Amino acid sequence: MDKLRLDPAAADSLAALIARYPNVERVICGHVHRPMFVRFGGTIASAIPAPAHQVALDLRDDAPSAFMMEPPYALHRYEPGVGIVTHHTYVDAAEGPYPFYEPEGALID
């Protein structure tokens, strides 16, 4: 994915433009098949995963090209005074939910 990224000079220009506007809450883009976040232009840039397979998370420079069947989605909710809160969840059912506390109120450890 990094080999196809925005040209560094263009990325610098975009970051400078965004930095001129402190009201920019977040830069959100998609279809990169892996959720990623980075500080960019004085805010946060979020790459939101595609609703299908994801690129396997392997940060080695020589990592093989591979994918995982873990289709997620992101839900963005804007609240005045708070800003954008993003929730990531997965489409496939997983075990749980499991309680954090016993019925009497004690933390399950």
17 occurs within a structural domain: yes
55 occurs within a structural domain: yes
33 occurs within a structural domain: yes
According to DSSP, residue 101 is labeled B
For residue 27, what pLDDT is reported?
94
Instruction: Evaluate if residue 21 carries a pLDDT over 90.
Output: yes
8 occurs within a structural domain: yes
| Nearest one of 67, 71, 20 to 48, comparing CA atoms | 71
82 occurs within a structural domain: no
pLDDT, one tens digit per residue, over 40-61 is 999 999 988 877 788 888 888 8
Taking the whole predicted model, whether its pTM rises above 0.75 is answered as no
pLDDT, one tens digit per residue, over 75-91 is 889 989 988 888 887 77
Q: Could you give the residue ranges of the DSSP H alpha helices within the chain?
A: 8-19
Mean pLDDT calculated for residue range 22-42: 89
For residue 1, what pLDDT is reported?
58
CATH code: domain of residue 33: 3.30.750.180
| Nearest one of 77, 82, 72 to 35, comparing CA atoms | 72
Q: Which residue segment(s) compose the domain that 46 sits in?
A: 2-70
Work out how many domains the chain is built from and give that number.
1
105 occurs within a structural domain: no
108 occurs within a structural domain: no
For residue 33, what pLDDT is reported?
82
- Compute the mean pLDDT over every residue in the chain, rounded to the nearest whole number: 85
